[in-house]
Structure 1
Amino acid sequence: MQIAVIGAGYVGLVSGACFAEFGIEVCLVDTDASKIEALKAGRMPIYEPGLDKLVADNAREKRLRFTTELATAVNGVDAVFLAVGTPTRRGDGHADLSYVFAAAEQVARAAKGPLVLVTKSTVPVGTGRRIKQLVREARPDLDIAVASNPEFLREGAAIGDFMRPDRVVVGVEEGETGERAAEVLRRLYRPLYLIERPVMVVGLETAEIIKYAANAFLAMKISFINEVADLCEKAGAHVQDVARGIGLDGRIGRKFLHAGPGYGGSCFPKDTLAFARTGQDLGAPLQLVEATIDINDRRKKAMADRVIAACGGSVAGKTVAVLGLTFKPETDDMRDAPSLDILPRLIEAGATVRAFDPEGMSHARQILPEGIHYAKGALDAAKDADALVVLTEWNEFRALAPQRLAEAMRGKVLVDLRNLYEPKLMREAGFEYSSVGRP
């Protein structure tokens, strides 16, 4: 089988490389010529563990190729996947679908024969129907089936998520056209049948809502446990034990119950906002989702005040070391990371900030305020610092010896917003240690 993937960003690149690993011939298309040239040269535009090898192996075997020529890429393929961006639209919080619609029209005009046009991008309910209308207007002579195949890839674990997913969701139209689209997608995902991974075939609207509902529910779990952490601090309870106590209940589950500075990244912030706006537009307000968004926004802003309070109420003239800038470990993604709220606030309050992140500093330099000093490593960031803040739970930070940290720093304030360290050990090392939701 042959497919084209439009968009060489995170979703498109990972999906295209994984489909190629299934043995499918994949052509990856992007309008950014520099990105395509970098991929041809083996340079990855994003950091994702194992992606560079996966791309190199499949490019060498001629199963994966890259181009800026959309018309050439879609000629003779069985399916075209749309994996372009759907950022938050300025002013109203809705998903900006202009890239999706433009790509769909370009595919329709370039197609030489029947194909299945699949939205891999995260799109609000009703988008598939609108795409069907657009392609019918552009090419009334051509049979183009429209389908939805939302992605559920975690940054830092995306390859494993694609190759061994919890489920694959396929949304199709009614009737014969939908059945044809479902059959093409079943064939593409055939390797997963061999490992007994479920493939759900549902309606277009259902598939679109599944994606948003999944992300909103996970974001809600994060905001919930963050509020519980605040209660634990007031009551003298231990939020990690609370999370384990409720997470062992099979109806609840243990994942996404880690208290911290709030969620970020490329999915949860924009998807919860778009989902809430869709509910408002359709007259079915999603009040839990709206509350989740509000809690998370307030959470990230409150974390800087927590650091300032730990420093005695003022950081003016003090050096604050920050470990971790990305929204989570094993990625270089800075989108909506808590650091984007916390660091500017510390600088405004008069602090000198020294920061280190294993993968995110090149992106951080582009979007964080000037004046941040970027260190060569964790201990370099901590050198002569009055206070140290842990923002991202990279494994290399977990392994830091408390005594070495204490020796590097001038002060002894340590604010652990990811609960990486044992309070007893940090206090024995001389730190004025505070964490999240732990007595």
Structure 2
Amino acid sequence: MFIDRVEVEFLAGKGGDGCMSFRREKFVSKGGPDGGDGGTGGSVILEARVGVNSLSAFASQRFFKAEKGQPGQGSLRHGRRGCDLRLFVPCGTSIIDAADGFVIRDLTTPGEEFVIAKGGRGGQGNTRFKSAQNQVPREKTPGAPGEVRHVIMELKSIADVGLIGKPNAGKSTLLSRISSARPEIADYPFTTKYPNLGIVEIDVERSFVVADIPGLIEGASDGVGLGHEFLRHIERAGTLVHLVEPAPVDETDPIANYQAIREELAHYDPTLGDREEIVVMTKSEMDIDGEVFRNLQAHFQSNPVKHDRELHSISAAAGEGLNELTEAIMDRVHARRLQMIASGEKLLPIREVDQEALIPKPKRVPPHKQGLTANLSDQTPSKEIDADDPWAEDKKHRGHNNPHLEVKKRNVRKQVKRYGKKTDESP
């Protein structure tokens, strides 16, 4: 089940109480306070991880609590620290304060983590309060309570390309043809109820991620048709692919539908209205004489925009125009990635294999660089290395001889000290 918005409460662990104790042992002349400190409570940590694609783990459980610290004990024994509670969220999750509505943290980079609720500090035992004036302290402090945070976690999908358009415009069909994703496809509107991600691989070295956004309708920016639930997934998409159906089922005008979606994007976020897009007329087999395609071209020429816009015609069912469309999208994605690198931004991996490729593998040491011959050089020839002594390397690092010989020498010294001389008959 895909969940992209949850409201949860985090509670860090309480610190352990300090201990008041005095040392009382038989035959021990000196006693005194020996109460230990309490352990620190565990913290709640959120970490963005590649491979986690939904907030469904937080849907059934809305309250998370870290382990509390253990109290101190006598004999100066401190309490054990509480274990931290580490929770994994998808990349692109925004942590929002439920009371005031401000964004606490935006987790976009894989491996990025932060402490959402810090554990309470452990209390002090009476040993901390001893002094020359207070030799029998009976004071101790309780553990501090852990932090409590009531937050809203909101997932905004991270994708290179976002597919937008009216319901039943062919977005899921296009995604299934150009990627390995298998979204639900049917001949009725609002078939897609949540965003689907697909990876389009042009060749071995070129690929991009596509997000299939559920269909938008007029009034989506005001929340009509769960518009806000869908529009927030478009915010992180670098390039928008706007799909237009030439012959809608409701017999509406394709150009009017296109303009309605553009107005909803600009009304929801003005930056979305200026974002570059590729307009695609789907189901080209329904536009037999090409009239709708020509009308779209004429509309774009008479109504220029500030952002880059180009028009394509495809038939996902017949496979026509898909190669040209994917190449055009790849060119846009590649240009945007170059801009991100030039500005100092990092490219975010979406797949686990991409994350593993970023981790450098340790270099293999050849055999001639291992063992006693690893130190051979022009300054250190082979004759200066005692190859017959298996403890040569050990001597250099530890600074003593063969440990077995050292034990034997110690035994001999004990015999000489005990019997006055070295004898083979001495035990």
Q: State the TM-score bracket (shorter-chain normalisation).
A: under 0.3
Compute the TM-score of the two structures, normalised by the length of structure 1.
Answer: 0.25
- Between Structure 1 and Structure 2, whose CA radius of gyration is higher? 2
Question: Which of the two has greater strand per residue?
Answer: 2
